Amino acid sequence: MIAEMQCVVLDCPDPAALAAFYQCLTGGEVDRPDRRWATGATWATLHLPAGPVLAFQYAEDHRPPRWPDPARPQQLHLDFAVADLDLAHAEVLACGATLLDGGRAGEGWRVYADPAGHPFCLVRH
């Protein structure tokens, strides 16, 4: 093994707001003291209940992806497993997500954007 992943970092215009959005979606603890990072106006973290860490880094000229426009590609996206896709849909919209693609009848996924424009999927498990 060469390295161990510490976290997934998303660039955004408001790290605290994006951390709060993902906390609404997944639970967890925003800006938990951690020797690996200093939090503040330009950096926020979310320690997820299952163990991974999401980090949010201030980007002054953040340009959100325009999924599925290849001129502004998503670069990465997160998938979240849910038991009830319709219930989760209502809940993520209430947290501040935007629906990008509702999927086709019978498909078990939907594509959303977080408040900073990063695409993510809810996938029925």
Residues 54 and 13 in one domain: yes
Torsion angles phi and psi, residue 46, rounded to 5: -135, 110
Residue 83 included in any domain = yes
The CATH code of the domain that includes 42 is: 3.30.720
Q: Where are the alpha helices (DSSP H) in the chain?
A: 15-26, 85-95
The CATH code of the domain that includes 101 is: 3.10.180.10
Residues 12 and 53 in one domain: yes
Residue 12 included in any domain = yes
pLDDT at 12: 95
Residues 52 and 91 in one domain: no
Looking up tokens 């926020």 gives: 44
Q: How many domains does the chain have?
A: 2
- For residues 19 and 46, the answer to whether their CB atoms sit within 8 Å is yes
Count of CB atoms within 10 A of residue 22's CB? 24
Its pTM stands at 0.85
pLDDT in tens, 10-54: 999 999 999 999 999 999 999 999 988 888 899 999 999 999 999
Residue 90 included in any domain = yes
Instruction: Provide the residue range defining the domain that includes 23.
Output: 8-58
What tokens does 92 get? Answer: 């993520």
Beta strands in the chain (DSSP E): 8-12, 29-30, 43-47, 53-58, 78-82, 98-101, 109-113, 119-124
pLDDT in tens, 57-97: 999 999 999 988 999 888 888 989 899 999 999 999 999 99
DSSP state of 37: B
